[in-house]
Every structure is written in C-alpha cells, then in structure tokens.
Amino acid sequence: MVYQLGRGVTAVTLQKDTVDVARQHALQLFAIDLRLRIFREREIQAFFLGYPTLMKYINWLYSFIHIPGTIFFLVYLYCFCITRHRITHQPEERVG
C-alpha cells in the first residue's frame, strides 16, 4: 500500500523535465559504457532469454531476497542507530 501511494504521489508530482534529465543521464551512462567497451547488456539478455526457466527462478529468488532483505536491513539500521548513538544520562544526586 505504501509503495502504491508513493507511485501515485510520484505520478502526480512528476515534472516533464525530471524525466528528460533522467533520460539524458541514462544516455550519458550508455555512452560511457560504449567508450570503455564494457557494454555487455545485449549479450547477457540474449543468454537469459534463451533459458526462460532459469530466468523464472532467478526472478523468484530476487523477489524473495530483495524485499525481505530490504526490510531486514531497514529494521537493523533503525535499531542500530537508536541503540548505538544513545546518550545515557545518569540521574544527578540531589543534596537535600
């Protein structure tokens, strides 16, 4: 539900220039990959498209690791940040 809400807010508030900037950045990365001769996406996609069963299991594995892994990491990070940097105050002694 939160994901869908985020998508809805993005769809309503997204400006045209945001998409243009993102597209320009993607084309710049593509050009860098070609210049460095590290663009291998076509070969990788062609390999996996030849093995649809393998692709199905890799997608399944990704979905069952990525989402719970992200949730686990966020919970861990929250707990780590809350407990690690806590300033402990000791009660002051009152002279009475």
How is the chain split among helix, strand and coil, in percent rounded to 5?
Answer: 80, 0, 20
27 and 16 housed in the same domain: yes
33 and 46 housed in the same domain: no
- Residue 92: inside a domain: no
66 and 29 housed in the same domain: no
Which pLDDT score, from 0 to 100, does residue 74 have? 93
1 and 35 housed in the same domain: yes
Q: Note the pLDDT tens digit of each residue in 72-93.
A: 999 999 998 887 766 666 666 6
- Residue 94: inside a domain: no
- Residue 9: inside a domain: yes
**CA 30 – CA 10 distance, rounded (Å):** 25
33 and 49 housed in the same domain: no
What is the reported pTM? 0.45
Q: Note down the domain range covering 6.
A: 1-39
- Residue 35: inside a domain: yes
Neighbours of 55 (CB within 10 A): 14
Structure tokens at 45: 């996609």
Domain count across the chain: 2
